[in-house]
Structure 1
């Protein structure tokens, strides 16, 4: 039997197609919503960090210079700051998240599959944590206690006196040699050495023009609720002192120009034309 398409049938099919298109939102990585953006707005000789997650503290997947072209799949707002999911045009392996303010033009599309934490497992965390040691069995030392019949006040007092006498007798003996101790000597109490605040902490840093960010050791000395000195040690020798005052980077021990920008709780600091540092509020101030 031959099927005849009437105008009514065609209208019903068209309406169903329109409803289906409305009910299924376009994915951010659909070619119809993907655009090409250019990396702009960086400081001279600086690089844009492409991070695994949309966070200023996310793991860096790669770094791109100003003028690089990226596929922009869409942007989401995270803690009041817009982040875009991007992929380098010339190297698809460099794929992740970057602040929207460094991408021109922006993409009004949003991204659905947005990771909330770094998917890569941290080193040494594949095994389940060891269970805490069980508390010592006090019944083996003091004997079973009948929970149904609580001790009287007199019994509790006798037990306490017996324990006190036992401790005093044990302290009067010398269990090691049995010899009578000689003249009492005053011995100074040695306290364990106090480690400096955040000793051995690493921060991202770069010392020379065009040098990618590497890891520098940092020592933090807190001087109040919102004051701290951060001493950064360069891998090739030498240090740089960065001071925080009022909860913000305030200066360094270098005569060169000191400036910084903030991205959330991350302080991106530049000294002179080449030195760069990334220090979080948590590291510097313990906030």
Structure 2
């Protein structure tokens, strides 16, 4: 009888939480005839999320301005249903202006940070978006997977990775080599040649950026692609800064970072160190699972902050928004 009562109480406790979950509301944006933009005024409460969808073409320029009455209100910009954000408002601010890397639907996601959403806070916001410029027409080319050991295209695109997962980049051609980074579907990397290791074809790649990632990955996940747009230094890569300190007792400063995300808290974060180089942090389901080879790391949480300690001295505070994109 006591077990039955406990189950009933547990069910009662869980029902409100399940009922409070808010689906993402999608709204299609259209521009009035003769115009190239639109202004939207609306509001959100708690964990409500609104996605504004609008079509655009590669080579066009999109400009977004966002103002929120609540400082916890932000927007992210994504391509279609890809969870990797081009722009993360919580770290990059309420303005975006850039040349679009692909054609199709773009998704502007408006939301409240998790801490504010849990408190049931509200926000009134104004979202202004415009699209201009001419679309570019890509030169058609036959698909080419990494099926050769020499030559091949100048650029690969990562494809075929399971949803929510990332592709390991290793220090050498084989799974026994340490992981030096990770990539998500859609990332474009430079082809530096392939070789066999047993029955598996491994390709050396370079992921461009201020601190390029160079390593080896399985060729079956690489597909021929055009070079990434020169206006966007790295496809689907988000950037910002996080609080950091390099020694025990040192006051927190600010370190630039870049992040490549899968979904559901799967993310690879590279933090630029003040003395040069980068610190690599690997997350799965929001949990730290790895760092640079030979480093001792620990992970604790404080509200929406992930508190990372490396070798008992380096400290980093990484918001959930960096890992989840909002």
TM-score, length-scaled by structure 2: 0.29
More helix by share: 1
Higher relative contact order (CA 8 A, sep 6+): 2
Structure of larger gyration radius: 1
